Structure 1
């Protein structure tokens, strides 16, 4: 069996279970929220909910699911009788702060969810009520499996728009992709964006979610890790071609991010690879592929 290095946007994202619900609300109960940075999955067990998510308006009946992805205001109201529902909130984060769940393309209303899916949701909620480390980890695992089943059955990830950001910031992102080995810094990126360095740094963080140099460092490390796995270049050559001052600087940064030195990472691949990994190159995705960015910087 091969040891496969899993890189790219989705493999490098982390799943967070943020909250669980197991509640009964009275008739007329209503909650209105501004756009939230997290997603929600709710299974109605009794009664009916009216839900608005941006321009979408649905009524959710018993046995049906409502999925609220981030990016739009949301309103939830109990109709006519007490409503029982269970569910959870979650985030999928890239580089620690870029929210990916808005890219999943799942419809708001799932009218006939599979029993396997509703079972995963109920189990996640049940386990999430526990306080132990095992309960927390199990709840997150079941919630992530439920989310994966939703994406597999209903998601439209491949058709989500790649970016929603200012053209100036996109110009800087393109420069990063094209010139990883270059001597890039905030002033040079700001020149590409035709902005002052201070304004550029503020706008970049607001739109992308991390400072520009942190984003560039993450991209360099991701691409360098792919080069370690897929080529026979020396560590020194990889460091130079990916913008690191020298092999020692590259090694320290790599170990901070991935937990082991580049040489050890490659040794592990060589030791475990028995199925021709080197003959199966895979295209490395840049850290921001598919990332939606709200145009919040004016």
Structure 2
């Protein structure tokens, strides 16, 4: 792959949807975004699925390096635009590696560029434009980790990063308040043990809707789909929704509350539990 083709691929990744990522990403690809964090493999695809893409991107200060015949590294400044009021600037690096006869993206990172001369309104519009992607990536990461815990591939304690130091939860059973400490980890361990016992195979996000409350707080409705293996029956699929209260705390999303329905009643309706 020559440099011209590499830069063309890089542009497509900014402007096109999840389909191009499925074509060009290596299964072990790692990406790092502030303040989202680190995403890998399928997490990246899920984070992009349904998220709005950029209408245009200008890549300047372009540099490339070839440590060997099988690795190509790109570095550049990206100035992207979604509409006249939503723009984004970052310094980026991408690494492509030859796998067989093809080249795949194995690494990408973005470091946002602050614009101190921009008006407050422009900064607010840019933040609103990027927060949608930040929150979608955050919940995609949480979804991936939840399924890894379900499959016993990850300790549940690693998922508690998603919650604020204090939180509230509401359901038909009542309202409770809690802290992000050992009690939360213990409660989550019991919850996942319960999911496994009733045959829960996977938890998937079908869609999410983001409603800003102010610059730092958001209401996020997540449409979940749970799949169960129950006796000799075909897979049982149950759709449900949870409303999350999310705060942008020190540049990172944190869940500080959620509202859910009567999960046990829905399970009984489907003969589960």
TM (norm. structure 1) is 0.25
- Greater per-residue helix proportion: 1
Q: Determine which structure has the larger strand proportion and give its number.
A: 2
| TM-score, normalisation: structure 2 | 0.26
Task: Work out which of the two has the higher radius of gyration on C-alpha atoms and give 1 or 2.
Answer: 1
Which structure's relative contact order is higher, taking Cα pairs within 8 Å and 6+ residues apart? Answer: 1
